[in-house]
Amino acid sequence: MDEIQHDVHTQREHNGFQPAEAAEERPAPSEFTSRLADRLKRIDAHRTDGHGNPSRTAALRAISADLMEIEVHVAEAIRDAVVLTPMTCEAIEEYSPSIDLVLRLAKQISQVSQLEMRSSQLDG
């Protein structure tokens, strides 16, 4: 994740984007931070359910949790970058590869979740 954040910051500097003054003054939203921590705990619980269990469903849970965790961190990196950058068409275009990555991860999570549900019906 640090590499993605570094890439976003490097792209921003290369394109001459400066942090918005209002964004620098804005405090980190504690409610969002709390929700993020709760989400990561739920993902970890989902992963724990998948480890140590030989069933197909458990393996798919672990895969799904790994994808969810990656998606959370990439989305967080995008949110951090957006807060520091004035929203222009150029800025949106700059973040497009990262946004596409989040969308691809969401699609993959959805597909694995569907397999997980089908598998749980078969294991059931």
Q: Write out the DSSP string of 51-83.
A: TT--SHHHHHHHHHHHHHHHHHHHHHHHHHHHH
Mean pLDDT taken over the chain? 75
Confidence at residue 62, expressed as pLDDT on a 0 to 100 scale: 84
Contact (CB, 8 A) for 43 and 69: yes
Using pLDDT thresholds of 50, 70 and 90, give the confidence band for residue 105.
very high
Using pLDDT thresholds of 50, 70 and 90, give the confidence band for residue 86.
confident
Instruction: Please report, for the chain, the start and end positions of each structural domain, with discontinuous segments joined by +.
Output: 30-123
pTM of the model: 0.63
